[in-house]
Structure 1
Amino acid sequence: MKTRAVRLYGKKDLRLEEFELPPIKDNEILAKVVCDSLCMSSYKAAIQGADHKRVPDNVAEHPVIIGHEFAGELIEIGSKWADQFKVGDKFSIQPALNYEDGPVGILSAPGYSYPYIGGDATYVIIPNEVMEKNCLLPYHGEGFYPASLAEPLSCVIGAMHANYHITPGSYVHKMEIVDGGRMAILAGVGPMGLAAINFVLHREDCKPSLLVVTDIDQVRLDRAASLYTVEFAASRGIDLRYINTSVMQNPVEELRALTNSEGYNDVFVFAPVRSVVEQADAILGFDGCLNFFAGPSDPKFSAMLNFYNVHYAYTHVAGTSGGNNEDMVEALDIMNKGLDPAGLVTHIGGLNAVPEATLRLPEIPGGKKLIYTHITMSLTAISDFAELGKTNEVFSELASICDKYKGLWNVEAEAFLLANANKLS
């Protein structure tokens, strides 16, 4: 079986290549990848090469396939797993295996560490440890892109579960955000911030009564407000506010004023910016938990923390990097119940677009870049479909379909693209 894949050889060295996959072993599964969502974590791996904690030291001689937010269908099952999986099953994968026998030990993960599995490929071999760790997850919903976006959604879910608070008079920590509490999501209208808003508004338990979302980009704030409306939040019992802190004279005072100066129970930081982290610390209330979600590229990144409040106001910090299996299952379950992650997606492309797009990811505006691995297509903003449609019937129809869904990507558009991709050029 031949595959086409984007492989990492070293720092900023990504190559789209075709090569032969070996026959699968009895404990492996051959799968067709349909789509992969590009992630900033892949950008970090691409610029750091072998210095990245999940990339093998010998990557120059034994390249790895990148991409870890992917979905597809199973096409050949090794005998060991024949009773548990069947040909044609749709799947998503939890990449954070924490598997001690992988290529780089306990940090091994598909999309970082393996020569034959990663999201930016047409076909992959799923190794035994993925199934052993219950990280090959079935997807029963429509289309494929929701399953691809289950991994980023699981990261947000894991962050919510990782927050913790004290039990007065004891040393017992209560995990989770405060139910009915005050929550702030800072720098919160990028792709992962949007996922967090969407999840908070749709979950059935542990919802805040006040949700404040901040950013300094009014265009992105307006888009977020159109996707996840104040009215819908109110129907869920949540007072949702979108706030541009760049127009505030004193953001800390004004944000605290929204809580009657009590401060926030749970504050999530979605950008590795020192001023944002320090703002988050300053708006914490008693027993407030700051979750530093945004992973920095700089290993020396730091910010000031008010240790007076750590001692006397019991403020504290949590941080998460990815979700676990339970978070992935929860993500897939909540999507089956109606949560559509399409609001994260702003660009669509083919496998040919991956090397450049990955290396330029911080420079490309918008949200998630969704790649369909079996097509050739330049990375294209959904908002540009209509203009391109003046000279190409496929883009014209895609624009028309997306217009029916508030300009968002959707299962109907996905199916049309996959059926008509040969007419793009």
Structure 2
Amino acid sequence: MKTRAVRLYGKKELRLEEFELPAIKEDEILAKVVCDSICMSSYKAANQGTDHKRIPDNVKEQPIIIGHEFAGEIVEVGKKWEKQFSVGKKFSIQPALNYEDGPVGVLSAPGYSYQFIGGDATYVIIPAEVMELGCLLTYEGEGFYPASLSEPLSCVIGAMHANYHTKPGSYIHEMEIVDGGKMAILAGVGPMGLAAINYVLNRSDRKPSLLVVTDIDQTRLDRAACLYSVEFAKSQGIDLRYVNTAEMSDPVAGLRDVSGGTGFNDVFVFAPVAPVVEQADGILAFDGCLNFFAGPSDPDFKATLNFYNVHYAFTHIVGTSGGNTDDMKEALQVMSNGLDPAGLVTHIGGINAVIDTTLDLPNIPGGKKLIYNHLEMPLTAIKDFSSLEDKNPVYGKLAEICDKNSGLWSVEAEKLLLDNADKLTY
């Protein structure tokens, strides 16, 4: 089976190549990858090369396939897995392989460490360790893009689960956000922040009574408010407020006022910016938990924290990177039950757009860039579809579908795109 894939050979050295996959072994699975969502982590991996913890030292001789937020269909099942998986089943992959009994520090992951599996490919071989660790997950919902976005959604699910609180006089840590508490999501209207808002508003087991989402970009705040409205939040029992901290002379004092003077039980930081971290520390309530979600590229990144409050106000800090397999299963389940992650997606492209998009990702505005691997298409903002109708009528049809869905991507749009895979250049 031939595959076409974007492979990493070294720092900023990505190549789109066609090559032959070996025949699968009895403990492996052959799969078709339909789509992949390009993550900032792939940008970091591509720019750092072998300096990245997950990238093998020998990529120059044995290049790896990039991309780790992907979904597709099973094509061939090795004998060992025939009773558990069947041809034609839709799937997603948990890329964070957790070796409970393995060596400490193992960081191998699809999209970073393997020659024959990664999200930016037409066909891949799912290796034995992914199978043995239960990281091949089936998806029963509609379309493919929700399953692709289950990985980023699992990251915010894991973050919510990782927060913890205590009771005075007790050393027991009670995991999770405070049910009925006050939550702030700082720098929270980028792709991952939007995923967090979506999840918080759609959780059935616990949720805050007050959710404050901040940013310094009013346009992005306005878009978030359209996607996840104050009115919908109210129907879910949540007082949702979007706040532009650039308009506050003292953001810490202003946000504490919004909290009613108490501060926030759970604060999530979605940008690796020292003043934002310090702002988060300043708005913590008694026994408040700060989750530093954003992964910095700078290994010397630092911010000042109030350790007086750590000691006397029982404030805590945690950091999460990725979700585990249970978080992925929860993400797939909530999406099968109707949670639509389309609000994260702002651009669509084909496999030919992967290299430039990955290497320039921080400079491309908007949210998630969704790649469909079996077609050639320039990376295109959804909002620009209508302007391309004269050059290619397919874009006019896509614009029509997206416009009736509040400007968002959808299963219907995805189907039209895939049905017209040979007509998408402009």
Taking a change above 3 Å as real, the CA distance of residues 104 and 285 of structure 1, as seen in their structure-2 partners, is: closer
Residue 319 of structure 1 corresponds to which residue in structure 2? 319
Q: Secondary structure at the match of 1:74?
A: strand
Do the aligned partners of 1:99 and 1:129 also contact (CA within 8 Å) in 2? no
In the alignment, the residues of structure 2 paired with residue 104 and residue 22 of structure 1 have an alpha-carbon distance, to the nearest angstrom, of 30
Q: Please state how far the C-alpha of 1:205 moved relative to its aligned partner.
A: 1.6
Q: Please state how far the C-alpha of 1:260 moved relative to its aligned partner.
A: 1.8
Residue 261 of structure 2 corresponds to which residue in structure 1? 261
Q: Secondary structure at the match of 2:421?
A: helix
Question: Does 1:188 pair with 2:188?
Answer: yes
Residue 242 of structure 2 corresponds to which residue in structure 1? 242
In the alignment, the residues of structure 2 paired with residue 100 and residue 125 of structure 1 have an alpha-carbon distance, to the nearest angstrom, of 23
Residue 4 of structure 1 corresponds to which residue in structure 2? 4
In the alignment, the residues of structure 2 paired with residue 18 and residue 409 of structure 1 have an alpha-carbon distance, to the nearest angstrom, of 29
Residue 384 of structure 1 corresponds to which residue in structure 2? 384
Do the aligned partners of 1:345 and 1:368 also contact (CA within 8 Å) in 2? yes
The aligned amino acid for 2:152 is: P
Residue 349 of structure 1 corresponds to which residue in structure 2? 349
The aligned amino acid for 2:227 is: L
In the alignment, the residues of structure 2 paired with residue 40 and residue 100 of structure 1 have an alpha-carbon distance, to the nearest angstrom, of 27
The aligned amino acid for 1:114 is: Y
In the alignment, the residues of structure 2 paired with residue 58 and residue 133 of structure 1 have an alpha-carbon distance, to the nearest angstrom, of 25
In the alignment, the residues of structure 1 paired with residue 21 and residue 102 of structure 2 have an alpha-carbon distance, to the nearest angstrom, of 19
Residue 48 of structure 1 corresponds to which residue in structure 2? 48
In the alignment, the residues of structure 1 paired with residue 326 and residue 167 of structure 2 have an alpha-carbon distance, to the nearest angstrom, of 25
Q: Please state how far the C-alpha of 1:390 moved relative to its aligned partner.
A: 2.4
The aligned amino acid for 1:266 is: D
Taking a change above 3 Å as real, the CA distance of residues 105 and 254 of structure 1, as seen in their structure-2 partners, is: closer
In the alignment, the residues of structure 1 paired with residue 101 and residue 201 of structure 2 have an alpha-carbon distance, to the nearest angstrom, of 39
Superposed CA deviations along residues 202-238 of structure 1, whole A, max 9, x for unmatched, are 0012200000000000000000000000000000000
In the TM superposition, 1:148-159 aligns within 5 A as: 148-159=148-159
In the alignment, the residues of structure 2 paired with residue 36 and residue 322 of structure 1 have an alpha-carbon distance, to the nearest angstrom, of 16
Q: Please state how far the C-alpha of 1:169 moved relative to its aligned partner.
A: 1.1
Q: Secondary structure at the match of 2:289?
A: strand
In the alignment, the residues of structure 2 paired with residue 168 and residue 180 of structure 1 have an alpha-carbon distance, to the nearest angstrom, of 19
Q: Secondary structure at the match of 1:107?
A: coil
Residue 165 of structure 2 corresponds to which residue in structure 1? 165
Taking a change above 3 Å as real, the CA distance of residues 102 and 360 of structure 1, as seen in their structure-2 partners, is: farther
Do the aligned partners of 1:349 and 1:380 also contact (CA within 8 Å) in 2? yes
Q: Secondary structure at the match of 1:290?
A: strand
Superposed CA deviations along residues 161-203 of structure 1, whole A, max 9, x for unmatched, are 0000002211000000000000000000000000000000000
Superposed CA deviations along residues 11-34 of structure 1, whole A, max 9, x for unmatched, are 111110000000000100000000
Residue 64 of structure 1 corresponds to which residue in structure 2? 64
Runs of 4+ in 1 over 2 A off after TM superposition: 98-105
Q: Secondary structure at the match of 2:214?
A: strand
Residue 339 of structure 1 corresponds to which residue in structure 2? 339
In the alignment, the residues of structure 2 paired with residue 8 and residue 18 of structure 1 have an alpha-carbon distance, to the nearest angstrom, of 14
What TM-score, normalized to structure 1?
Answer: 0.99
Q: Please state how far the C-alpha of 1:391 moved relative to its aligned partner.
A: 2.1
In the alignment, the residues of structure 1 paired with residue 266 and residue 424 of structure 2 have an alpha-carbon distance, to the nearest angstrom, of 46
Q: Secondary structure at the match of 2:211?
A: strand
The aligned amino acid for 1:302 is: K
Q: Please state how far the C-alpha of 1:337 moved relative to its aligned partner.
A: 1.4
Q: Please state how far the C-alpha of 1:104 moved relative to its aligned partner.
A: 11
Residue 222 of structure 2 corresponds to which residue in structure 1? 222
Give 5+ residue unaligned stretches, structure 1.
none
Q: How many residue pairs align between the two structures?
A: 425
What TM-score, normalized to structure 2?
Answer: 0.98
In the alignment, the residues of structure 1 paired with residue 287 and residue 117 of structure 2 have an alpha-carbon distance, to the nearest angstrom, of 43
Residue 137 of structure 2 corresponds to which residue in structure 1? 137
Q: Secondary structure at the match of 1:86?
A: coil
Do the aligned partners of 1:55 and 1:104 also contact (CA within 8 Å) in 2? no
In the alignment, the residues of structure 2 paired with residue 216 and residue 389 of structure 1 have an alpha-carbon distance, to the nearest angstrom, of 34
Q: Secondary structure at the match of 1:400?
A: helix
In the alignment, the residues of structure 1 paired with residue 103 and residue 352 of structure 2 have an alpha-carbon distance, to the nearest angstrom, of 27
In the alignment, the residues of structure 1 paired with residue 376 and residue 328 of structure 2 have an alpha-carbon distance, to the nearest angstrom, of 29
In the alignment, the residues of structure 2 paired with residue 304 and residue 50 of structure 1 have an alpha-carbon distance, to the nearest angstrom, of 31
Residue 408 of structure 1 corresponds to which residue in structure 2? 408
The aligned amino acid for 1:197 is: I
Do the aligned partners of 1:98 and 1:109 also contact (CA within 8 Å) in 2? no
The aligned amino acid for 1:119 is: G
Q: Secondary structure at the match of 2:402?
A: helix
Residue 22 of structure 1 corresponds to which residue in structure 2? 22
Taking a change above 3 Å as real, the CA distance of residues 390 and 212 of structure 1, as seen in their structure-2 partners, is: same
Do the aligned partners of 1:402 and 1:413 also contact (CA within 8 Å) in 2? yes
Do the aligned partners of 1:103 and 1:113 also contact (CA within 8 Å) in 2? no
Q: Secondary structure at the match of 2:62?
A: coil
Q: Secondary structure at the match of 2:377?
A: coil
In the TM superposition, 1:293-308 aligns within 5 A as: 293-308=293-308
Q: Please state how far the C-alpha of 1:352 moved relative to its aligned partner.
A: 0.5
Once superposed, what is the RMSD of the aligned Cα atoms?
Answer: 1.3
Residue 118 of structure 1 corresponds to which residue in structure 2? 118
Q: Please state how far the C-alpha of 1:100 moved relative to its aligned partner.
A: 8.2
In the alignment, the residues of structure 2 paired with residue 87 and residue 407 of structure 1 have an alpha-carbon distance, to the nearest angstrom, of 34
Superposed CA deviations along residues 343-370 of structure 1, whole A, max 9, x for unmatched, are 0000000000001100000000000000
Q: Secondary structure at the match of 1:172?
A: coil
Give 5+ residue unaligned stretches, structure 2.
none
In the alignment, the residues of structure 1 paired with residue 2 and residue 143 of structure 2 have an alpha-carbon distance, to the nearest angstrom, of 25
The aligned amino acid for 1:257 is: D
In the alignment, the residues of structure 2 paired with residue 237 and residue 198 of structure 1 have an alpha-carbon distance, to the nearest angstrom, of 14
In the alignment, the residues of structure 1 paired with residue 249 and residue 9 of structure 2 have an alpha-carbon distance, to the nearest angstrom, of 48
Residue 210 of structure 2 corresponds to which residue in structure 1? 210
Taking a change above 3 Å as real, the CA distance of residues 290 and 105 of structure 1, as seen in their structure-2 partners, is: closer
Taking a change above 3 Å as real, the CA distance of residues 105 and 82 of structure 1, as seen in their structure-2 partners, is: farther
Q: Secondary structure at the match of 2:140?
A: coil
Q: Please state how far the C-alpha of 1:105 moved relative to its aligned partner.
A: 6.7
Q: Please state how far the C-alpha of 1:102 moved relative to its aligned partner.
A: 9.8
The aligned amino acid for 2:251 is: P
The aligned amino acid for 1:216 is: I
In the alignment, the residues of structure 1 paired with residue 114 and residue 71 of structure 2 have an alpha-carbon distance, to the nearest angstrom, of 17
Residue 32 of structure 1 corresponds to which residue in structure 2? 32
Residue 76 of structure 2 corresponds to which residue in structure 1? 76
In the alignment, the residues of structure 2 paired with residue 144 and residue 72 of structure 1 have an alpha-carbon distance, to the nearest angstrom, of 7
